[in-house]
Amino acid sequence: MSDCRDSERRTHQAPPSRDNQLPADSGLLMAAPVPGRLVMPTVPRRVPDRVRVGHLHLQVLIDQGAIDAASEERDGPLSGYSDAEQQRIVLAPGAGPDFEAETLLHELLHMCLRVSGRDPNEDAKAEVDDIEESTVNSMSGPLLAILRDNPDLVAYLTATPPWAGGG
């Protein structure tokens, strides 16, 4: 539960900076800063249209037709998928904000593995001693780059809907 009053809320208009401020055009409602407290965005504007993952610039789409086709091809329902060759991530429409953000992050993690060149399935076949450590090592660099290169994505993923206690 937020302890700020309505009169203390404002739309963040400051330009992005190195001290992790949100982009001025993020459209997020922010609580007034309280010394010693982290200020979290409360309402995401929308899913980012594009996300950079390593050397790939990916388009992010919400497309039921593409989801239906991929679900049929994979013989089961999908909430989203990523395609490195087509440089896109596709999400199903109509998901709640938290599930939609989780699905986008899930697909971004697949892309981290792809840009790292590692394949956990190949590690398993080769009987790599510590598959978990190998996988995490492969993903940590690309994931850090995603977070640094995509401030709108970070704002979207970390926003808390007001009905969930975020404002």
What pLDDT digit, counting tens, does each position of 10-29 carry?
Answer: 222 223 333 444 445 544 44
Rounded to whole angstroms, how far apart are CA atoms 56 and 88? Answer: 9
Is the pLDDT at 39 greater than 70? The verdict is: no
Is 80 exceeded by the pLDDT of residue 69? yes
> What pLDDT, on the 0 to 100 scale, is given for residue 112?
92
3-state SS string for 22-48: CCCCCCCEECCCCCCCCCCCCCCCCCC
| pTM tops 0.85, yes or no | no
The string of pLDDT tens digits covering residues 101-148 is 999 999 999 999 888 887 777 777 777 777 778 888 888 999 999 999
Q: State the pairing for strand pair 80-83/88-91.
A: antiparallel
pLDDT exceeding 70 applies to what percent of the chain?
68
pLDDT of residue 8: 29
Which pLDDT score is estimated for 71?
94
Average pLDDT over residues 139-159: 92
CA dihedral 12, 14, 20, 22 (to 10 degrees): 40
Residue 65: Cβ within 10 Å count: 8
More confident call, 154 vs 124: 154
